[in-house]
Copies of this chain bind each other. A is one copy, B any other.
């Protein structure tokens, strides 16, 4: 029997994946599982997008251009321009979700063994795409106590060597929800220019910024025309993760010409998803206002609720729809497994993502979890109560186990 590849062997499993069997067993035992572990919003997709799908009246579902429909790219360019991002349609390649844009970005910009600095904790799948492209991610650690703000410029400088070719950020951040301010982005700008690096920014949560904070795209930073690359997606913006439509955006014509060759190899992004994406460009401002208000409400319920539990710390995120929390436990992973496997409160339990999988450095985040506030407020309130009681109960269980083993 032939062996699988080293890359395949090393490929990380989803940090959430291993908890799935425990969630399934809870479910089959009749326990309600409240999913705070994934970013699949329950918000409805805009009607304009759903209508476009229902009105699809072509007789053949054809390939599109490898870079996406021309009309869609022009529409996207207009959308970006209204967000202070000065691009035209030639600066945009439509991709199979933001995921493919990350992979195209990495394969276009970096050679195997090249190093890319990423503030950690970061979206766990960056590890996977880096592995696919052969790229080495060098984490610069951010801390819960600082609400995951960008560390000082010295922390970056320490990591830069002659293999360093880029910096990758997620803004607003998954899993932290942290929104970079103008000063932080200027720090990045300086590092990038001083060291001639690519700056890849995953900005898929652009629409979700709270407390009157504004999102600043790396594409609007002065002098970064040849350095800045944005990864985008319709998944979160229009609550249509299943459309699998994203985009790679850059003013660097060489980057775009090269990324287009990767795009041509896989022929085209999905036609039906693009139909939905193009129609979604006509989504009303009211939709965004309503969605933002809803997320803001959910954030406050979740974060305030978490902080009201003894021993839990949860910085209030400025964007996206995730929060990171430190729990009064030794191992968040054990606790997340236990709460699914052995605990319920009034018939419910909670599924969370242990945060260690979002760190590249070992031993970090072991007491942290990531929570997505993509569920209605009632469920979030219920989740908080489950968690409050579970955290009271958990030490007793540990005690009992201990006395059992020492008996």
Contact = CB atoms under 8 A, between A and B. Distances in A.
A100 B2 contact: no
A231 interface: no
B261 A244 contact: no
Contact of A2 (B97, B196, B243, B271): B196
Residues of A in contact with B, size category = 35 or more
A6 interface: yes
Contact of A134 (B40, B112, B261): B112
Given A2-B165, A107-B132, A61 B267 contact: no
A100 B268 CA distance: 11
A121 interface: no
Nearest to A129: B265
A274 to B, nearest CB: 8
A269 interface: yes
Tell me how many chains of this kind the complex includes.
2
A50 B42 CA distance: 26
Contact of A96 (B50, B243, B244, B272): B244
A53 B272 contact: yes
A244 B264 contact: no
Interface in A172-215: 196-198
A103 to B, nearest CB: 8
B258 A244 contact: no
A1 B252 contact: yes
A4 interface: yes
B241 A109 contact: no
A271 B258 contact: no
Contacts of A297: none
A69 B129 CA distance: 23
A9 B14 CA distance: 32
B271 A107 contact: no
A59 B42 CA distance: 9
A108 B61 CA distance: 30
Contact of A240 (B61, B103, B244): B61
A261 B127 CA distance: 12
A259 B13 CA distance: 11
12 contacts: A2-B198, A4-B108, A5-B107, A44-B59, A45-B61, A49-B61, A53-B61, A60-B239, A96-B270, A97-B266, A100-B266, A270-B272
Interface of A: 1-2, 4-9, 11-14, 17, 40-45, 49-50, 53-57, 59-64, 96-97, 99-100, 103, 107-112, 114, 125, 128-129, 132, 134, 165-166, 196-198, 226-227, 239-244, 252, 254-255, 258-259, 261-262, 264-273, 276
